[in-house]
């Protein structure tokens, strides 16, 4: 019997819940010759800021047991290049959901970028990354304070009519508090979670492995923690969740959805294996059959 992999995010139908996470799949165009991108449920594009950014100094990626560290520093060509060049080029080859990931270092920058993304016809969903440091308040990330997170959400909501997802940082004491704050401020959905802050030291050189000392830790090792946060937030909020963090196989997608995620993003695994997403999608029907699942929609939040 044919399995139903489809899900719905804020009125947008996805043929399956599998989405490459922002920063791990470029702008989609980089892999167009590797496989048919239209097998995906959607793509969360590389994060965009108001101005083009070179990013942090090298080295900015390091391999770790169970995952990887990155301190790329939001390298991107800027929001204007996204809406005027990247999106039109992607839409020539891709007809599934396009998610624009927006970053910023001030409320005004978030507002400006969201307005431009909202006006771009080829973008379906805005995903606002609030893990960026607030340069006007000592560098504290917007996403670590409920009030600051709500302020970004409110500004983004006023600048856009498209479905608005807020991507939360896990580097907080109580992620439910942050989630409720952005829900109350007008978010349509949440992406959980971004990377965990970590570091490694080169003991031979007696120096940090990354030029920026610390970076975001992602990969299989963080899956149980990310899953726990998705579960907690799903039971505290009413808006849909895109689960993210350590997903590497079809069984992980099922777990994330049972915990409360409507869609599931695959991040670091794409760096290790560019075919990770299509492989997971191909494996899902077999896993569903083994578990007696006819439709993925029936398992969302079932635990």
CA separation for the pair 299, 256 (Å, rounded): 10
List 132, 237, 244, 277, catalytic entry: 132
Beta strands 189-192 and 196-198, pairing class: unpaired
Q: Is 132 tagged catalytic?
A: yes
Beta strands 125-129 and 189-192, pairing class: unpaired
**Cα–Cα nearest to 230, from 198, 197, 265:** 265
CA separation for the pair 106, 103 (Å, rounded): 9
Under a CB-based contact definition with an 8 Å cutoff, are residues 303 and 257 in contact? no
Sheet of 125-129, strand order: 18-20, 263-266, 241-244, 189-192, 164-167, 125-129, 97-102, 42-44
Under a CB-based contact definition with an 8 Å cutoff, are residues 153 and 191 in contact? no
- Angle CA(269)–CA(275)–CA(278) in degrees, nearest 5? 105
CA separation for the pair 251, 199 (Å, rounded): 29
Under a CB-based contact definition with an 8 Å cutoff, are residues 193 and 244 in contact? yes
Instruction: Output the six-digit token pair for 47.
Output: 């994060």
Beta strands 241-244 and 263-266, pairing class: parallel
Under a CB-based contact definition with an 8 Å cutoff, are residues 85 and 52 in contact? no
User: How buried is 139 (Cβ within 10 angstroms: 0-12 exposed, 13-18 middle, 19+ buried)?
Assistant: exposed
CA separation for the pair 153, 150 (Å, rounded): 5
> Which residues are catalytic, by number?
132
């Amino acid at each position: 019997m044919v399995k139903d992999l489809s899900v719905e995010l804020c009125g947008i139908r996805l043929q399956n819940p599998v989405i490459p996470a922002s920063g791990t799949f470029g702008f989609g165009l980089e892999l167009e010759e590797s496989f048919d991108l239209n097998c995906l449920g959607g793509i969360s594009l590389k994060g965009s800021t108001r101005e083009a950014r070179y990013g942090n100094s090298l080295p900015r990626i390091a391999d770790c047991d169970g995952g990887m560290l990155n301190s790329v520093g939001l390298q991107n060509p800027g929001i204007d290049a996204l809406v005027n060049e990247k999106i039109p080029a992607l839409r020539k080859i891709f007809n599934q959901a396009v998610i624009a990931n927006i970053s910023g270092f001030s409320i005004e920058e978030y507002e400006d970028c969201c307005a431009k993304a909202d006006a771009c016809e080829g973008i379906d969903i805005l995903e606002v990354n609030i893990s960026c440091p607030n340069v006007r308040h000592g560098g504290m990330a917007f996403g670590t304070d409920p009030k600051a997170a709500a302020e970004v959400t409110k500004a983004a909501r006023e600048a856009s009519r498209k479905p608005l997802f807020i991507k939360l940082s896990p580097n907080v004491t109580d992620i439910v508090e942050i989630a409720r704050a952005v829900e109350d401020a007008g978010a349509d959905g949440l992406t959980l979670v971004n990377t965990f802050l970590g570091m490694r030291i080169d003991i031979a050189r007696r120096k940090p492995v990354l030029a920026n000392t610390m970076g975001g830790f992602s990969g299989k090792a963080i899956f149980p923690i990310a899953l726990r946060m998705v579960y907690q937030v799903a039971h505290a909020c009413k808006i849909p969740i895109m689960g993210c963090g350590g997903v590497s196989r079809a069984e992980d997608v099922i777990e994330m959805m049972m915990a409360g995620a409507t869609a599931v993003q695959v991040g670091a695994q794409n760096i290790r294996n560019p075919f990770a997403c299509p492989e997971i999608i191909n494996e899902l029907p077999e896993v569903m059959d083994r578990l007696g699942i006819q439709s993925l929609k029936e398992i969302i939040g079932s635990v």
